[in-house]
Amino acid sequence: MSWFFKSKQIQLSILVFFFLVGFVPYFFKMPPVEDFANNLTRIAAVVGNFTIVIAVYSQWRRSLRFIREKRKGWAYHIYLLILMSMMIIIGFTLGEHHTAYKWLVSTIVTPLSSVFYGILAFYMSSACARAFRARSPKAAFLIIAGCIVLLYQAPLTGAFLPGIEPYSLFLTDNLGMALSRMFAIAIVTGAIILNMRMLLGRELAFLGFAREES
Amino acid sequence: MAKPLLEIPIIPTGRFIGLVLLVILAILAIRQMRAKKMPFIRRVAALDAIDDAVGRCTEMGRPVVVSYGIGDFSYSVIAALSILGYVAKICAETDTRLIVPTGGGHSSYVVRETAVDIVRSQYILAGKPETFREEDMPFLSGEQYAYTSGYTGILIRERPGATIMTGSHASEAVNIAEQSNLVGAITITSGTYVSNMAALACASDYIMLMDEQPAAGAYLSKNVDQIATIRVQDIYKALAMVLIVVGLVLMTVFKSDLILRLLDT
Amino acid sequence: MDLLTYLSVVLAIFIAFCGFTTLYGKGNPLYSWAEFSYLATATAMSVMWSWTATFGVRYAIQGLIRGELIWVPAIILGILMWFRVYPKYSYLSRVSIAFTMGIALGWGLRTSIFTSFIRQISATIVNLWVPEYGIMYFIARTTIAVSIITMMSFFIYTTEIKGPHLWSATIGEYIMYTAFGAVFAQTFMGRLSLFVGHMQDYMFPVWKQPYTIGAALLVFVILLALDKKGLAQKLAAA
Amino acid sequence: MVEKKVSLLQWMATYDQRWVYLILFLVVLGPMVSPIGMPISVSASTRNWYEKVTALKKGDIVLDSWSTEYSGYMELKPGLLATHRMLINKGVKLFVCLGHPEGFAVANVVFEEELKSYMDKHNYKYGVDYIILGYVFPNVASTIAAVTNFQDAVKTDWKGVSIKGTFLDRIKTGADITMIVDFTTGAGNPGLIDHIVLRFGTPMIQNPIGVSLPGALANLDAKLLQAVLASARGGAELEYLIREPGPGLIMMDAFSLGHYMVIIFIIIGNIGYFGWTKRERARERTTIR
């Protein structure tokens, strides 16, 4: 039976088959196939959730190795494993809506998630302060446009410089939008071609075939 | 929506032209794959910079950090996995340490396994399976910003010589690029949406713009048949330009919505 | 407010500022503590979600118990995925990957040509001159069309850029940089609102203010002291 | 070691980035400790959003999608709260679908703290007027499954309680939804437009974070979206329009100052660049010659 799992052709056929099942019913009226495809998406969603086990397993293994070999900072790994296990146990026994679980979420997860998201404001300002220098005419255009929009966006500006609105909106709504649109058009063809290469068996690294071939 | 040019009974309204475009695209791609002669292709600075960046890490004895994003299999992730494979190959050959932060999204678990496989196989192919270290591909949870905190933690501690961050990174990309900059690493990135790209263009040393990323696998493979497919991308861009120009002229001068109707067919 | 909530708020403020120490640019134990706490809890949450999500593992098992056979292949494919960890049998997981990937590609490709190609082109095609909309409308619409076309010409890779193409590509490049500036500013607005919103969460109600400012100062002083004594990097995680 | 004296121009060109970080902290925290109360103006896009929400009728079913983690909620909060005040006031039926697991925390805060008194005032009840479905949209696959056969895919609410017998019985497919209101950090759910709007023609309005704004505007222009509320600033304007001051208006002082700070740093950087970096480079070139 192992030939079935090892054969590159068979795996590729599976890929192409399920691709077609999802793809074709959109273009031709065939309700039974569409229903079948819908069910397959539910299966795929479940399959994805199974893989968390491997990811967590590899995290455990990595941390255990740190602890066993007493590498720098190994104590943090002990802390990691204990806290993680504790929370998983609470989750499975008491449930996600229990106070203890919610307490951990609101004390650790929500503030830190906000920190690492909010910290972007700092990185954006430093990137801006560092990169917005008129090294070339192109960069000068970037800076002028950036500053006009920045000025407009400060709500106070509207009060003493109302004339800035049309210029800023021209930049964001027309140029910004044109950029978005060009991006969408350019990238989709690239993406489709890439998918095409995969379906034709050219970019198959993702199935892990290189190893067997060696 | 404009009235379609024609209705075909077995095809839902408005979907015919999409199908036609996809079929033509497939045919063109297959034709291009048979190409024998290397086509002209403009240099992509960000991709060419990869070799130098990894070389710099080897010389300085510093690791190189590569990531492929936090999302499900999408074109950008697949392209980034090709880049990962390419870097892993150089790293395996030159004994440069490779660190790949993984995780970051709930749909990225499957991708993680694939990435591990890709890197491991490059070490096997280079004849050095014993130098592959899976612990250098840490799983940093399935939560975007926990991943980011882990990622920036790695950058601060390991002080890599280069960070190659491609694939489906979202808002955390600027976070990582700036931190990478702060620790003095050469930063090569790509954006998957416009605002990200604008910010990364300022924050990184090299950036893959627009469709340079999906073309990366083909570009780096240096295979004639793969590079030739990039031409199809250009043909479709040209097609888009022609449709827009003709459509605008017909609409404005002749008050005809022919192109709109064609597109809604 | 009960003691638990109070503790949670104060601890959250403190751990948040520990997280901010990454801005200092050097490894330190405060950051490592925040980082590992976050990694641990976030991973635990990931596990719980994979179990309880609408299409999570529990959902499939419950469905199977109810006798819905659709979940049999789902569970088998899911378990096959686990063989990834045994190098000897890892090939078993390929079926699952090929399956998930096939589905993702099929559903992804079927609409992208419409949303990202056809609809974007047809949205650009408008009557440029409508007398009642005036000259501004004409300028705006023409700018959009010209910008798209010139920028796109800059991204043609497989022909040499010369002649009129060079002109168009150069204009396109300038427009692209101008647009980048505008988009960057918009992005900055988003990030700033996030940070301001986050800080607002810590500054209101007003009783939180002394804790927030205190935590910020405390973390800053500890960080400086550790760095001066050379302990910051030493006590950080590896 | 003798430290070389750094001229002002050189400092402007080469200053430590951490100054930017420190000053940003100060300009954001400052106005919160002592508010200034700067004036603001209302944009056309916010008015459009206001009109679209106002046009909804009592009893309409709205898919209320929150593709945001807790951190993104910080930015969407003003728009989200103000819009929900309008929706509750109108008596629209809402079913909240979370596009991110942390949405649970957001839903807790919004419905059990922020809007509680407002809902009580309008007698807006869980199970009758609104239902929280939980993390229904972890990925595109599940979005598709949920909107093609809703009754089969979704059976319980976020706490595992059956949704039989509620207003959700009226929903079979995406076509039965009156409107989609999407609050998104952009990373959430691409399936809504692809698989509901395009397929069933359901109108959709979106309050994205600033980062996703250009993409949202392109979709607005392509008529895939009906209205766009821009980031927290749009939220603040909406608060102003509905005369319900909230978090958005409080944010605006820090918001203005943050923007001005960056502009000042850009100016400083450029003075440094022309006054020092460029001259230094010119000098280097002459020395080499």
A194 and A141 fall within a common domain:
yes
Q: Which residues pair with B119 in a beta bridge?
A: none
Domain edges within chain C: 1-52+206-238, 128-203
Supply the pLDDT for residue A204.
66
Over chain D (289 residues), what is each successive 10-residue block's mean pLDDT? 70 84 90 78 88 93 88 88 94 89 82 90 93 77 78 84 90 90 74 82 90 79 87 89 85 88 91 82 55
- Distance separating alpha carbons of residues A54 and C18, to the nearest angstrom: 30
- The number of distinct structural domains making up chain D is 2
Interface test with D, best of B77, B180, B194, B197 (most D CBs within 10 A): B194
- Distance separating alpha carbons of residues B228 and A65, to the nearest angstrom: 46
Supply the pLDDT for residue D289.
36
Domain for residue D35, yes or no?
A: no
Supply the pLDDT for residue D100.
78
- Distance separating alpha carbons of residues B255 and C126, to the nearest angstrom: 10
Domain for residue A176, yes or no?
A: yes
- From the list B18, B153, B252, the residue facing C128 with the nearest CB is B252
Angle of helix A52-68 versus helix C29-52 axis, rounded to 10: 150
Last residue of a domain, one of A84, A118, A152: A118
- Distance separating alpha carbons of residues D204 and C138, to the nearest angstrom: 28
Name the average pLDDT for chain B: 88
Supply the pLDDT for residue C146.
95
Domain for residue D33, yes or no?
A: no
Domain for residue D2, yes or no?
A: no
- From the list B107, B193, B194, the residue facing D139 with the nearest CB is B107
Q: Give every strand in the sheet of D179-184, ordered side by side.
A: D130-134, D93-98, D61-67, D179-184, D204-208, D227-228
Residue pair A145/A170 in contact by the 8 Å Cβ criterion:
no
- Distance separating alpha carbons of residues C188 and D75, to the nearest angstrom: 12
D144 and D185 fall within a common domain:
yes
D131 and D12 fall within a common domain:
no
- Whether residues A115 and C16 touch (CB distance < 8 A) is answered with yes
Cis peptide before A31 (omega within 30 of 0): no
B106 pLDDT exceeds 80?
Answer: no
Report yes or no: D250 at the C interface, CB cutoff 8 Å. yes
Chains touching A by CB (3 or more pairs below 8 Å) = B, C, D
Interface test with A, best of C49, C99, C141, C143 (most A CBs within 10 A): C99
D37: left (phi over 0), alpha (psi -120 to 50) or beta: left
Question: Which residues in D126-151 are b (16+ Cβ under 10 Å) and which e?
Answer: eeebbbbbbbbbbbbbbbbbbbbbbe
Q: Which residues pair with D162 in a beta bridge?
A: D156
- B45-221 has which CATH code? 3.40.50.620
- The number of distinct structural domains making up chain A is 3
Supply the pLDDT for residue C202.
86
D101 and D156 fall within a common domain:
yes
Domain for residue A150, yes or no?
A: yes
Supply the pLDDT for residue C238.
65
Among candidate residues A81, A116, A88, the one with its CA nearest the CA of residue A104: A88
Domain that holds residue D281: 8-27+250-288
Given a cut of 70, the residues of chain C with pLDDT beneath it are 238
Structure tokens that stand for C191 in this block = 């990030």
A35 and A19 fall within a common domain:
yes
Q: B174-183: per-residue pLDDT in tens? A: 889 988 988 8
B214 pLDDT exceeds 80?
Answer: yes
HEC string of D106-118 equals HHHHHHHHHCHHH
Q: How many CB atoms lie within 10 A of CB A166?
A: 12
Confidence of residue B193 (pLDDT cuts 50, 70, 90): confident
Contacts of D211 in chain B (CB under 8 A): 171, 193, 195-196
Domain for residue D12, yes or no?
A: yes
Q: What are phi and psi of B66, to 5 degrees?
A: -125, 135
Interface test with A, best of D16, D20, D74 (most A CBs within 10 A): D20
Mean pLDDT of A110-117: 86
> What is the DSSP code (8-state) at residue D5?
P
Residue pair D132/C46 in contact by the 8 Å Cβ criterion:
no
Domain for residue A61, yes or no?
A: yes
Q: What single letter denotes the amino acid at residue B110?
A: V
A43 pLDDT exceeds 80?
Answer: yes
Domain that holds residue A11: 2-50
- Whether residues B146 and C19 touch (CB distance < 8 A) is answered with no
Helix (DSSP H) and strand (DSSP E) numbers for chain A: 13, 0
Residue pair A18/B73 in contact by the 8 Å Cβ criterion:
no
DSSP H helical ranges for chain B: 16-33, 45-60, 75-94, 109-125, 144-158, 172-182, 194-203, 216-221, 224-227, 230-253, 258-263
Distance of CA D265 to the CA centre of its chain: 27
Q: C109-127: per-residue pLDDT in tens? A: 888 888 889 988 998 998 9
D178 and D59 fall within a common domain:
yes
A213 pLDDT exceeds 50?
Answer: no
- Distance separating alpha carbons of residues B60 and B48, to the nearest angstrom: 20
- C-alpha atoms less than 13 angstroms from C-alpha of C35 in its C-beta half-sphere: 27
A40 and A18 fall within a common domain:
yes
Q: Which residues contact D57 (CB under 8 A, 6 or more apart)?
A: D90, D92
Domain edges within chain B: 16-35+228-263, 45-221
A101 and A64 fall within a common domain:
yes
- Whether residues C118 and B72 touch (CB distance < 8 A) is answered with no
Residue pair C72/C64 in contact by the 8 Å Cβ criterion:
yes
Contacts of C23 in chain A (CB under 8 A): 119, 122
D176 and D65 fall within a common domain:
yes
D62 and D181 fall within a common domain:
yes
Supply the pLDDT for residue D201.
87
Contacts of A113 in chain C (CB under 8 A): 38
- Whether residues B196 and D101 touch (CB distance < 8 A) is answered with no
More confident site: A212 or D148: D148
- Distance separating alpha carbons of residues A7 and D99, to the nearest angstrom: 38
- Whether residues D213 and C197 touch (CB distance < 8 A) is answered with no
- Whether residues D72 and A117 touch (CB distance < 8 A) is answered with yes
Contacts of B42 in chain C (CB under 8 A): 157-158, 161
Supply the pLDDT for residue A76.
93
Reduced to 3 states, what is the DSSP secondary structure of residue D183?
Answer: strand
D201 and D276 fall within a common domain:
no
Q: Which chain B residue has its CA at the smallest distance from C87's CA? A: B117
A77 and A103 fall within a common domain:
yes
Q: What are phi and psi of A132, to 5 degrees?
A: -80, 65
Report yes or no: B106 at the D interface, CB cutoff 8 Å. yes
A22 pLDDT exceeds 80?
Answer: yes
HEC string of B82-137 equals HHHHHHHHHHHHHCCCEECCECCCHHHHHHHHHHHHHHHHHHHHCCCHHHCCHHHC
